[in-house]
Structure 1
Amino acid sequence: MNLGLGRSLATIANLAAYGLLGGFVLGTLGVLAGLSIGLAFVLVGFLFAALLALVLRGIWYIESWRVATLFDTDIRHAPFKRSNRTDGWQPLHTLVLQFADGNNWLALLHGFITTLLGWITLALLSVIGWGIGAITWPFADWTPPGASPDDFRPGSYFGLPVDSPWYILFGVLAIVIAVATLYALSVAHRAISLPIFAPNREQELRREAHDAHLRRSEAIRAASVERSRIERDLHDGVQPRLVSVGMTLGMAKQKVPTEPDRAVALIDEAHTSTKAAITELRQLARGFHPAILEDRGLDAALSALASQSHLPVSLDVRIGRRCAPQVEAAMYFAIAESITNANKHARATEVRVTAVERPGGKLWARIEDDGVGGANPLPGGGIDGVANRVRAAGGTFTLTSPAGGPTTVEVSLPCE
């Protein structure tokens, strides 16, 4: 593997830095590990363990960034593993997930190997320094001030007088061997680093297939939740109203021969109920895909959504282009569900919504209320439904709602 002169020199400089600092970092990790184990049954031990987990994760980020920069390569995706529990065990579960994450231990192993290579690099740099001295020694005047040249004669090294031509040749040979070995170390460092951090095509294909399977599952779950919601809305709202209209018209039909005025009143009542049913059906259809979202985009749709809220909604939308319909719909319904929950359950006084397009083609939104918190996404509920819908569109949905508030929802979607 040809690294080129510049990249080889940068790699050697990196290895030398690890040779100087790696031992200190590894020693610090050893101390943290010892304190975590020794104090495992008290709170202080948990704090040391949490610090150790954060340091391990930090090593992954530092090592992956260093390898990506040094060798100009892509780094495989290794997201921070966060517990999805909502109870008091969430911090401990997240800590366990960090210690169980093989990526963190691979990064630590990589750092240890790099430190060993760094120590060898420092030794080879010392050899180069000695070789330079061996070459320049015979040509330098090493007589101390005030001393006679006859009283200060060069000695010998490895049995060779330092002013011997063979000593110069020995220095040149040492430099050549050390430089060649340093280049070999830089190549070895690249060969060790890439399998650990660079994406493996087979692994990437498996991950993509797994992600596609998850998105399909989430889409099926989202469709199931949506179907259940529609069935519930029809059963609880429109269906009873239409049944009432039918019964009212039946009574009016019976009253026409004997009580025409009463029949007219019943028909008026049925007409009012019919208009109310039509309104409910329109609202239900808007839940499928709002017309304003399709016609004018997210900015206008979110403005309309905010205007319908009983709570004041602070809206900050900075989206410069249209995204795929399923992406816009997923974002819209995630924000709509969050605002609805703030109105119904959070006992909040305001809602803040930020929706922006981030670099890299990401659509990102944050919805925060100042309510009492404690939101819990139940299976089949509204939050679960929009979360499934977001994930089915290739995005992420994060809910943070501690008791006492505030409740924060973050949604990220690829703007395709």
Structure 2
Amino acid sequence: MTTTTTRAAPRLFTPAHVFGAIAQLALVGVVWAGVFTALIAMLFSGIGLIFAVGFGLVVLVAWVYLMFAFGWAEVARVDGLYDFGLAPRRLRRSPRPGFGGWLHSLLLQLIDGPMWRAIASAAVSTVLGWAVLSLVAVTASGITMAFAPLYAVDRATVRLQGTGLDIPLSWAVVVGIVAALVSIAGLVGLAALHGLLVRAVLVPSREAQLAEQARTSQAQRVGAVRAADLERTRIERDLHDGVQPRLVSVGMTLGLAQQKIDSDPDAAKQLIAEAHTSTKAAITELRQLARGIHTSVLDDRGLDAALSALAARSPVPVTLDVRLAQRCSQPAEAAVYFVIAETLTNAAKHARAAECRVVVRQRDGGLLWARIEDNGVGGASIVPGGGLDGLSNRVLGVGGTFRLDSPAGGPTSVEVSVPCAF
């Protein structure tokens, strides 16, 4: 989930922005035009070849990804010039697993609004780039014409390039100066127009940003509430099914021992020993339950140390690859930790995995990302009210995304990404 933050409107008309826009538009007018030509040709080729043993489908799939790359480059270009604070474009990902999930991801990317807005921005920039190239030609021609009496003494007229006009030599100086000044003013105007248009196309309005923040906050609140309800239900179930019967058994055993302590001391000692063993087992279960609610090593030493301890306790061999430049917020670290802990538990209990791999990274944009893979039997799914449902809602509650891919027969992979500074 991407959180949009409001920013103060950047200044678009500083000399650096104007000169930078003119230089970029001159380049874009050539390069982007070639890219558009290639993409259009690729689209029609793919449609034309769609019945040729399916080869056209491959071309169209490649076309979708190239369109995304083109939009990504345009957004990076505009944001590098104006510093609008635009988030880097990312490929859309479907929550569905397997090949069907990939097809759904492809469809989501094809209809992705931000991608098409970036393409629209590139189209606007291309048209303005052509105009900039024409005005640059007029500017150069006007400057050259201003000096025409020095090199064209044997001519009656001088041509103003870019306009097709032949100017009498006696007017060449005046017309050349005026043409150069007007074309330079036109270049400045095009640069300013470029800034206004791309901001209108790419930057959401304040109302849209506030509406998106409200939707995001509502989704996070719902996810947090549901995650808390599922966690409470899990704790109640573990207490009811595990610790509570064991403590009841301890009480009954001690009651029997109390009855036999005078008549049969040896039997009473044996019952007390059984109660002692059961008490230690209950304490162990309570510690495990408490660890599932909160882990102190996560607060004291961070996610890397907590995951190392988790991997050491795992009954399935775990390859751990954690590379973190700095610590994240406690909610973000806790969400990632418990996703990894529950996934490893599922791999041992249900997937019958022989090994697991855990990768944790800090990514651009302030995201804490983790991927957990196992070589088990697969077939896992998110069931309402189940453990994976609780994990996904916990991640949603801190503004993150949760993705499960577990085809029948395996392998299973879980990806989670949360804002580091939630």
> Could you tell me the TM-score, scaled by structure 1's length?
0.85
Of 23, 27, 36, the match for 2:33: 23
Of 29, 53, 57, the match for 1:46: 57
User: Is the contact between residue 76 and residue 199 of structure 1 (CA under 8 Å) also seen in structure 2?
Assistant: no
Corresponding residue of 1:100: 111
Question: SS of 1:352's equivalent?
Answer: strand
Corresponding residue of 2:233: 228
Give how far 1:193 is off.
0.6
User: Is the contact between residue 76 and residue 197 of structure 1 (CA under 8 Å) also seen in structure 2?
Assistant: no
Corresponding residue of 1:61: 72
Corresponding residue of 1:32: 42
* 1:146-201 Cα shifts (integer Å, max 9, x gaps): xxxxxxx3133556543x2x122112221111111111111111110112223433
Give how far 1:261 is off.
4.1
Question: SS of 1:15's equivalent?
Answer: helix
Q: How many residues align?
A: 404
Name the aligned partner's letter for residue 66 of structure 2.
Answer: V
Of 12, 16, 24, the match for 1:14: 24
Aligned equivalents of 2:302, 2:124: Cα separation in 1 = 53
Aligned equivalents of 2:281, 2:214: Cα separation in 1 = 47
Indicate whether 1:202 and 2:207 are aligned. yes
Unaligned runs of 5+ in 1: 143-152
User: Is the contact between residue 26 and residue 130 of structure 2 (CA under 8 Å) also seen in structure 1?
Assistant: yes
Question: SS of 1:28's equivalent?
Answer: helix
Indicate whether 1:272 and 2:277 are aligned. yes
Aligned equivalents of 1:207, 1:2: Cα separation in 2 = 25
Aligned equivalents of 1:218, 1:40: Cα separation in 2 = 43
Corresponding residue of 2:224: 219
Corresponding residue of 2:91: 80
Indicate whether 1:379 and 2:389 are aligned. no
Indicate whether 1:125 and 2:126 are aligned. no
* 1:261-319 Cα shifts (integer Å, max 9, x gaps): 44443343333323322322222122111233344443433232222112333334455
Give how far 1:139 is off.
0.4
Corresponding residue of 1:149: none
Name the aligned partner's letter for residue 141 of structure 2.
Answer: W
The 1:356/1:24 distance shift into structure 2, 3 A limit, reads closer
Bigger Rg over Cα: 1
Name the aligned partner's letter for residue 121 of structure 1.
Answer: V
User: Is the contact between residue 71 and residue 122 of structure 2 (CA under 8 Å) also seen in structure 1?
Assistant: no
Corresponding residue of 2:194: 189
Corresponding residue of 1:353: 358
Corresponding residue of 1:303: 308
Question: SS of 2:147's equivalent?
Answer: helix
User: Is the contact between residue 398 and residue 410 of structure 1 (CA under 8 Å) also seen in structure 2?
Assistant: yes
* 1:2-57 Cα shifts (integer Å, max 9, x gaps): 62334322212222222223332222222233234445566333322222221221
Name the aligned partner's letter for residue 72 of structure 1.
Answer: D
* 1:306-365 Cα shifts (integer Å, max 9, x gaps): 221123333344556654433332222122122222323444333333445567654443
Corresponding residue of 2:161: none
Name the aligned partner's letter for residue 155 of structure 1.
Answer: A
The 1:318/1:50 distance shift into structure 2, 3 A limit, reads closer
Corresponding residue of 1:343: 348
Please provide the CA RMSD for this pair. Answer: 3.0
Question: SS of 1:88's equivalent?
Answer: helix
The 1:108/1:238 distance shift into structure 2, 3 A limit, reads same
104-113 or 78-87: bigger deviation: 78-87
267-276 or 328-337: bigger deviation: 267-276
The 1:224/1:103 distance shift into structure 2, 3 A limit, reads same
Indicate whether 1:155 and 2:156 are aligned. yes
User: Is the contact between residue 75 and residue 199 of structure 1 (CA under 8 Å) also seen in structure 2?
Assistant: no
User: Is the contact between residue 95 and residue 404 of structure 2 (CA under 8 Å) also seen in structure 1?
Assistant: no
Give how far 1:85 is off.
0.8
Aligned equivalents of 2:127, 2:393: Cα separation in 1 = 47
Give how far 1:245 is off.
3.3
Question: SS of 2:373's equivalent?
Answer: strand
Question: SS of 1:84's equivalent?
Answer: coil
Aligned equivalents of 2:361, 2:107: Cα separation in 1 = 34
User: Is the contact between residue 72 and residue 89 of structure 2 (CA under 8 Å) also seen in structure 1?
Assistant: no
User: Quick one: percent identity of the two aligned structures?
Assistant: 48
The 1:63/1:208 distance shift into structure 2, 3 A limit, reads same
Corresponding residue of 1:396: 401
252-261 or 338-347: bigger deviation: 252-261
Question: SS of 1:310's equivalent?
Answer: coil
Question: SS of 1:226's equivalent?
Answer: helix
Of 144, 147, 151, the match for 1:140: 151
Question: SS of 2:13's equivalent?
Answer: coil
Question: SS of 1:113's equivalent?
Answer: helix
Corresponding residue of 2:123: 112
Aligned equivalents of 1:318, 1:56: Cα separation in 2 = 32
Aligned equivalents of 1:36, 1:299: Cα separation in 2 = 48
Question: SS of 2:414's equivalent?
Answer: strand
User: Is the contact between residue 377 and residue 409 of structure 2 (CA under 8 Å) also seen in structure 1?
Assistant: yes
Corresponding residue of 1:146: none
The 1:44/1:228 distance shift into structure 2, 3 A limit, reads farther
User: Is the contact between residue 225 and residue 380 of structure 1 (CA under 8 Å) also seen in structure 2?
Assistant: yes
Corresponding residue of 2:372: 367
Corresponding residue of 2:3: none
Name the aligned partner's letter for residue 8 of structure 1.
Answer: V
Question: SS of 2:99's equivalent?
Answer: coil
Higher relative contact order (CA 8 A, sep 6+): 2
Of 222, 233, 242, the match for 1:237: 242
Give how far 1:66 is off.
1.0
